[in-house]
Structure 1
Amino acid sequence: MGDGLFDIPRFEPERIEKLPEKKSKSSFLQKAKERAAKRKLQEPVPETKSEPKPVNREPKSEPVDQFAEADPANDAFENDSVKTEIMEEEEKSDFKIFDNIQAQKKKRIAASFPRWCEKPEVIDGDFTNLPPLEELHEFLDDTIYKNLEAMNFTSVFPVQRAIIPELLRRGPPRDLAVQAPTGSGKTITFLVPIVQKLMHRAIPSIRALIVLPTRELAKQVNDVLLELIKGTKLASHLLVGATTLDQDCNKLTQTIGGEKYATCDIIVATPGRLMDHLENGLDLSRLRFLVVDEADRMRGAWLEKLEQKTNRALLQKLLFSATLASDPQFLSSLKLRFPKLYTSGWTQPAGLTEEMIRYGRLDEKPRIIRSLIKDDTRALIFVNSNESAVALDDLLKKSGVRCESIAKTLENWQRKNAIKKFKKGKISAIICTDVVARGLDLDCCNIVINYDVALSAATHVHRSGRTARAGSAGVCITLCQLKHKPYFFMMKELGRKYIQRSISKLEIKEESRTKQEFMEK
């Protein structure tokens, strides 16, 4: 071609691709691109590329549902989440500002303990030099002080010395959370201030509610309360399911002129029975004190229902437990107001001795138990299931050990009968699970035996707290094997010092026999 003015350039497709893209595209070019995109989507994907490459990310704090793939309804959400993760990763590599956003997301997702848990007030756990009861005389009404003397209280425990003056001080009430070992005097700690603050009330009304995990423990607390309110106008009632709802209502209220009036001031209840009365219209509009014992084991719908029935401006919450919950969300759900935390830490009680006995075969465990229990022994043997409690009770009885099982499968009167025998010395051992043991108050127990290893640190603390109460001497013995290494690490975290003990071969030989002979005896 010449270099004239009317030279026409040839059509070159490559030039179109190199041209800058304009806002208004021809319909032909737009359709061509759409067809190319469809062909790309219809091309078979190699098997090696079917799964997306894993992105190097830190694991999320939320657990992954292992059955999510089986639910078609979740497919869209899963795909979106994968795309979001990849996009966030790409954006994070290009723009550093997303690093801060990502860190803020993780901080919001990761649960943390409330700030009031960061600086607890530590309670001295020394039971060796207890101050006399006279130290609390300046804080107590004469009637209550005389009742304590009549109940043979002569000294003040550390938790009582710290909490009672705090609850009796003037000023706006604040919620308290107290971590103290079992047997440290928690019952008197919350009963004394409640009785003193309510004893001069004008008319009866439900002003204090004490919630406990089991009916046995609730009955024990109510018995102490009845002794403490002698000489006052206060009245209490026990709600544990021993009577019908109508019978409970008749004792809680009386009808005068067609209207109902409360007849008691303090209620001691279990969560299940309390829930029944909350749904039945129990009036708690004047409630001033809510006490939750074993707070870390008292989760349930009853707490939310209770919040709807009370006046939060008047209510003061008191939480007591040998262990505090490890779940920060649970502590936050309690909705405490200006809370203060008291703790005795994971310290080992002064009179408690921890021992561990290693065994080889499983059939050695009952023989070891028999060698540990003597005539003067008062042992509490813990197992992890009701079936194990019944089976071990049968084995030990056949080998001559005076024992009783108080498994949950038994009737309430059977458990009470076994406890009476234990306190009177007619039997040397009680076999139970952790659930049943929560309601026991056995001051005569001098040995706790973990026939089955505790499944958590909190469980071990509750078990060992059944002996060496209030500074007295006691022993906690755990039967274990080499496979129970996590248990040893748990003891180290608790700060517990333990003695490794072995049953001598002579003792085992005296008890050695075939399994059939052992069962027949």
Structure 2
Amino acid sequence: MLFTSLNLSSPILQALDSAGYHTPTPIQQQAIPAVLQHHDVLACAQTGTGKTAAFSLPIIERLLASKTDIGFQGPKALILAPTRELAIQIGENIDVYVSRTRIKHTVIFGGVSAVNQIAALRKRPDILVATPGRLIDLLNQKVLSLQQVRFLVLDEADRMLDMGFIKDIRTIISKIPEKRQTMLFSATMPSEIENLANAILNKPERIAVAPVSSTVDTIQQAIYPVAKADKVDLLCHLVHNEKNGNVLVFSRTKHGADKIVRKLSKANITAQAIHGNKSQQARQKALKAFKDGTLKVLIATDIAARGIDIDRLQLVINFDLPNEPETYVHRIGRTGRAGESGRAWSFCDTEEREYLWQISKLIKQRLPLVEDHPFLPDNVDEYRNEPARAAAQPSGKPNKSKKKKHKRPHSNYRAAV
């Protein structure tokens, strides 16, 4: 199938062709027709599957087909994203899609002065991409109205809930006309998302692409058993030996990310961190340096990493194993995109062996252990049994073994931003 088969108008197809986009991804093949047919959409798809085009292309098509309204009172389409980076990335993609049309758009987010964003809103954008916090702020200032919104998109809805945005989302929805078309995109579909979907969607088309439990075959995965105290030394060892491009490293917390940067600096390795405590300018500068190859190592928290889109990223390293196995799939999905090969290496200390077991159970794979590195712990035999535990335990059923399990820390995504 080609984009020409999806009933998109010539200006959009010309823009896609100029950008080298010809074949829609599975999520685009299913979502675009559904939106064009005026259906609400509830879509579950992993990062990197082309969700932005899946919702923005049909919205642009619908806006092009509509008559020009007399008197501008606000944007006609609102796209909510959990992070500044993701909002900016969505805006950059829309730049491409509307390049041959009359459709205008703008992006608003926190962490920077609102002056320029308010000025952009006065130019009457048809599409508004926003993070919830800044949007609420500007609504309270009565800078804009949402009374003309006909299309509402919640992108990465699971992360917006994780970040505590549910109250803001409900406030925003209350200011949008009930007669609208709503699209909810999420990488995972926990009960909270189902409840939200039931509250805001009207008989939605349900779309599921690449289940969260699947990992791309082109990604070479490996587990590095290592004591917690030796993780930084192991990271330095691997980075020094890495000759094939830059390295994206995941840390569970903001404090941990900054600590890794300081320790790498002492080893003469240039690295930068991105997370919620960094200014918008600093985050964008670090991303730009990482994308153009001048920065070799980027340390990111899970939430801040949403929106990182780097072609041919060769290596992802989980400095900390995530305490939710689905997050592991999202993290390593940053590499091995579009048929390219990639590597995903994960450090695992004794306290994280329970996470390793949960990951192996979810993806139904025995992840290989790397035992020829200089920081192999003395208790490596204990790690060898974790994949076997996962294989023996049916997925989705609790482990009834009397063996004492490691206590899993409480998930706190607010602290990881």
Task: Please state how far the C-alpha of 1:270 moved relative to its aligned partner.
Answer: 0.6
Amino acid at match of 1:366: V
- Rounded Cα–Cα distance in structure 1 between residues aligned with 2:195 and 2:53: 26
Tell me, yes or no, if structure 1 residue 202 matches structure 2 residue 71.
no
- Rounded Cα–Cα distance in structure 1 between residues aligned with 2:224 and 2:302: 21
- Rounded Cα–Cα distance in structure 1 between residues aligned with 2:193 and 2:24: 32
Unaligned 5+ residue runs, structure 2?
377-417
Match of 2:302 among 392, 409, 434: 434
TM-score (norm 2): 0.80
- Rounded Cα–Cα distance in structure 2 between residues aligned with 1:412 and 1:392: 20
Tell me, yes or no, if structure 1 residue 285 matches structure 2 residue 151.
no
- Rounded Cα–Cα distance in structure 1 between residues aligned with 2:292 and 2:119: 37
Deviations 1:79-112 (A, max 9, x none): xxxxxxxxxxxxxxxxxxxxxxxxxxxxxxxxxx
Match of 2:88 among 219, 226, 250: 219
Task: Please state how far the C-alpha of 1:208 moved relative to its aligned partner.
Answer: 0.4
Q: How does 1:44-443 map to 2 (within 5 A)?
A: 131=1, 133-134=2-3, 136-137=4-5, 139-169=7-37, 173-200=38-65, 201-203=67-69, 205-241=74-110, 248-253=117-122, 263-281=124-142, 282-298=144-160, 299-313=165-179, 315-327=180-192, 330-331=195-196, 334-344=199-209, 345=211, 346-359=213-226, 361-373=227-239, 374-443=242-311
- Rounded Cα–Cα distance in structure 1 between residues aligned with 2:301 and 2:185: 22
Amino acid at match of 2:107: L
- Rounded Cα–Cα distance in structure 1 between residues aligned with 2:152 and 2:186: 14
- Rounded Cα–Cα distance in structure 2 between residues aligned with 1:242 and 1:484: 34
Q: Report 1 or 2 for greater relative contact order, CA contacts < 8 Å, sequence distance ≥ 6.
A: 2
Task: Please state how far the C-alpha of 1:455 moved relative to its aligned partner.
Answer: 1.4
- Rounded Cα–Cα distance in structure 2 between residues aligned with 1:338 and 1:423: 41
Amino acid at match of 1:230: S
Task: Please state how far the C-alpha of 1:478 moved relative to its aligned partner.
Answer: 1.3
Tell me, yes or no, if structure 1 residue 465 matches structure 2 residue 330.
no
Deviations 1:256-311 (A, max 9, x none): xxxxxxx2211011110111133234322221111111101223222222232222
Task: Please state how far the C-alpha of 1:387 moved relative to its aligned partner.
Answer: 2.1
Percent of aligned pairs sharing the same letter: 29
Distance 1:363 1:482, change over 3 A: closer
- Rounded Cα–Cα distance in structure 2 between residues aligned with 1:462 and 1:334: 26
Distance 1:461 1:326, change over 3 A: farther
Deviations 1:329-372 (A, max 9, x none): 7435642110222112222223223211112x333212221232
Amino acid at match of 1:502: V
Amino acid at match of 2:220: T
Instruction: Give the SS at the match of 1:327.
Output: helix
Instruction: Give the SS at the match of 1:363.
Output: helix
Deviations 1:21-78 (A, max 9, x none): xxxxxxxxxxxxxxxxxxxxxxxxxxxxxxxxxxxxxxxxxxxxxxxxxxxxxxxxxx
C-alpha contact 1:368 1:503 (8 A) present in aligned 2: no
Structure number with greater Rg is 1
Amino acid at match of 1:288: R
Amino acid at match of 1:357: Y
C-alpha contact 1:182 1:469 (8 A) present in aligned 2: no
C-alpha contact 2:312 2:340 (8 A) present in aligned 1: no
Task: Please state how far the C-alpha of 1:473 moved relative to its aligned partner.
Answer: 1.6
- Rounded Cα–Cα distance in structure 2 between residues aligned with 1:482 and 1:323: 28
Distance 1:350 1:288, change over 3 A: farther
Instruction: Give the SS at the match of 1:216.
Output: helix
Task: Please state how far the C-alpha of 1:240 moved relative to its aligned partner.
Answer: 1.4
Distance 1:478 1:278, change over 3 A: same
- Rounded Cα–Cα distance in structure 1 between residues aligned with 2:148 and 2:287: 38
Instruction: Give the SS at the match of 1:276.
Output: helix
Task: Please state how far the C-alpha of 1:471 moved relative to its aligned partner.
Answer: 2.9
Distance 1:466 1:451, change over 3 A: same
Distance 1:278 1:414, change over 3 A: closer
The count of aligned residue pairs is 363
Q: How does 1:497-516 map to 2 (within 5 A)?
A: 497-504=365-372, 507-508=374-375
- Rounded Cα–Cα distance in structure 1 between residues aligned with 2:295 and 2:287: 9
Task: Please state how far the C-alpha of 1:378 moved relative to its aligned partner.
Answer: 1.9
Tell me how large the CA RMSD over aligned residues is: 2.4
Query: Which residue matches 2:355?
Result: 487
C-alpha contact 2:223 2:368 (8 A) present in aligned 1: yes
Deviations 1:435-488 (A, max 9, x none): 221232222422111111101123223212222223322222111134434323
C-alpha contact 1:375 1:428 (8 A) present in aligned 2: no
